[in-house]
Amino acid sequence: MQISPPPGDPAPLGATSEVGRLSTVVLHRPGAELRRLTPRNNDQLLFDGVPWVARAQEEHDAFAQALRDRGVEVLHLDALLADVMALPEARTSLIAAAVDDPRLGATLRHATTAHLSGLAPADLAATLIAGLAHDELRGGRGLAYQVMERGDFVVPPLPNLLFTRDSSVWVGDQVAVTSLAMPARHRESTITAAVYAHHPRFSGAEQLYGSELEHLEGGDVLLLAAGVVAVGVGERTTPGGAERLARRVFARGLAHTVLVVPIAQERAMMHLDTICTMVDVDAVVMYPAVADHLQAWTVTAGEQLPDDDDTTELSVTGPQPFLVAAAAAMGIDRLRVIDTGLDPVTAEREQWDDGNNTLALAPRLAVAYERNTVTNAALEAAGIEVVPIAGSELGSGRGGPRCMSCPVRREPL
């Protein structure tokens, strides 16, 4: 199968802000991998419940259509993956990643490799995402295979692939393929890396980061302004990951300031974008319980930049209140804050339901879950047009519109 880029690709790939007009985005429509979730495994697979899959798909389809209705090109990750599975090098690397599991043992690993190698591109892509159960494996053999239960996974499913923001993030014209912290998500980065490396839509795109490096997740990375990047460190992203990213963006001229922002290491605040997202060039929607005491260390480069990305000298100052440090780095007087909720109870409920996790389509235009009525009303009162979407089933994985989208092309402000 020969794949080629679309004619007349409009503009360079990349993003320098959170709020520049969104042109192209990568989504993943939830599919068979969500049907693998059960009360027995949903915690291990990082879901708070077992979603109604058909309704989750309806909600996601409506999300994608809302983006298209506003001129955004939507690329689906499973389709991109199916395209590159026609290429031998990409097939080999992703099959190897799928069987790189000490549970399997040599015999079952070889049998699984043979099974996957025999699949057509679209079927292989679907299996890499949905996983492979014991009773679906043709030619299964070996001790590990014999002792498995019928419903056990030889290749585990990837239900969190729905949250395409986490496994990659664009900084300027380069893409950081991230290093995901939770074992259930490690293989997502191998899929994302293969798509960026092999699909013609991303031909020539330089990769800024890699899954073999310190833990760094895209939900913790906010592009506050051109040259200013905020990185949350907590449950998913380590200080070492933030430091590595800072060195690389400085060495490559992609940013002049990185704000490192410690956040609570807990499920409700797993990423920086679960407590704060941008909705205008000078405005954020933010969980009020943390707004006043969130701190930031300001990281800048030394005077001389070496040729080696990872030996850039860093200057670290702080900490300062995050809102103060952010405004100073952005060159503005202050960063406007729109609170999640109204009272402490409503704020806590709407933060849990991803009221902070908005996706800006342009300055003062943002997608948000419709259920967060108080936060959405506050956004509207502050001059932010809200595009409401349903998320009663999508939200069971603890992610909102920003989590479910990876912008690959935004217009500069």
What's the Cα-to-Cα distance from 348 to each of 267, 286, 345, 374, rounded to whole Å? 13, 11, 5, 12
Q: Is the dihedral of CA 321, 326, 332, 336 positive or negative?
A: negative
Q: 3-class SS at 241?
A: helix
DSSP states along 184-213 = GGHHHHHHHHHHHHH-GGGTTPEEEE-TTS
3-class DSSP string for 330-369: HCCCCCEEEECCCCHHHHHHHHHCCCCCCEEEECCEEEEE
Report the run of H or E that residue 224 belongs to, with start and end: strand 221-225
**CA-CA distance, 211 to 241, in Å (whole number)?**
11
Tokens 């040729």: give the residue.
307
Give the DSSP letter of residue 87. S
From the list 403, 404, 406, 408, the catalytic residue is: 403
Q: Is residue 406 annotated as a catalytic residue, yes or no?
A: no
**CA-CA distance, 217 to 230, in Å (whole number)?**
12
Q: 3-class SS at 12?
A: coil
Paired with 384 in beta bridges are none
State the alpha helices, DSSP H only, in 224-372: 239-251, 288-291, 322-330, 344-352
**CA-CA distance, 246 to 398, in Å (whole number)?**
27
**CA-CA distance, 124 to 102, in Å (whole number)?**
22
Paired with 278 in beta bridges are 284
Burial 190-207 (b: 16+ CB within 10 A, else e): bbbbbbbbbbebbeebee
Q: Of 222, 127, 122, which Cα lies nearest the Cα of 169?
A: 222
Count CA within 13 A, CB hemisphere, residue 172: 18
Judge if the upstream peptide bond of residue 319 is cis by omega within 30 degrees of 0.
yes
> Are the beta carbons of 21 and 119 closer than 8 angstroms?
no
Burial (Cβ within 10 Å: 0-12, 13-18, ≥19) of residue 311: exposed
Residues with a catalytic annotation lie at: 403
